[in-house]
A and B are shown apart, each in its own frame.
Chain A
Amino acid sequence: DGGITQSPKYLFRKEGQNVTLSCEQNLNHDAMYWYRQDPGQGLRLIYYSQIVNDFQKGDIAEGYSVSREKKESFPLTVTSAQKNPTAFYLCASGQLYEQYFGPGTRLTVT
């Protein structure tokens, strides 16, 4: 997991509530990424950012939002518009080619 931290490890929310997942890195990496992991489906890209104050949508951005106000931080908000938010969320950061992952946050929405 190196210098990438995600908090909390487990998160529970009621349906209809927005929730923000934290991701911080102290590796001085320019790029940061958010993935969603569901059983049997591998990792799917939600959003990524190559530089502060700029980010791009990934393959499954609908119902999610991000910000990149600081190089070290890339928080992900799961909005009430996300139809199936229960999943394991992984943050990653990288420089040039390489990409390293945080420990993940398991979000359960009931």
Chain B
Amino acid sequence: GENVEQHPSTLSVQEGDSAVIKCTYSDSASNYFPWYKQELGKGPQLIIDIRSNVGEKKDQRIAVTLNKTAKHFSLHITETQPEDSAVYFCAASTESRAGNQFYFGTGTSLTVIP
């Protein structure tokens, strides 16, 4: 099955700096890569996603890049703000006869220091 690895597990940045979180996946059949933000005690919230036919996608201060050859994808947050502090999860999804399954990384705890 798919194996998703995520680094780093913790990340601290100064407010206004950029943050980068990286994930690798093992199954070349994976074709959809979402990123989720989870605040304490809440469910994960989808913040951005990318499909395998696209190399980069941007939404305001958030961007995701995908390198299919190397099987890795990254989340970039620019001009970080204290409210960006949360746990971020990457995931890879593979279509199957039984439908899409999602495989998650172990999460990155981001702290933005004011």
Closest to B109 in A: A40
B42 CB → nearest A CB, Å: 6
Question: Do residues A99 and B104 form an inter-chain contact, with CB atoms below 8 A?
Answer: no
| CA gap between A45 and B106 in the complex, in Å | 13
Size of B's binding interface in residues, CB under 8 A = 25
| CA gap between A41 and B89 in the complex, in Å | 11
Q: For chain A, give the interface size range.
A: 20 to 34
Interface residues of B (CB under 8 A from A): 1, 6, 9, 32, 34, 36, 41-46, 49, 51, 89, 93, 98-102, 104-107
Q: Can you show 29 pairs from A to B with CB atoms below 8 A apart?
A: A1-B42, A1-B43, A4-B43, A33-B102, A40-B106, A42-B105, A42-B106, A44-B104, A45-B101, A45-B102, A50-B99, A58-B101, A59-B1, A90-B44, A94-B100, A97-B32, A97-B34, A97-B93, A98-B34, A99-B46, A101-B43, A101-B44, A101-B45, A101-B46, A102-B43, A103-B42, A103-B43, A104-B43, A106-B41
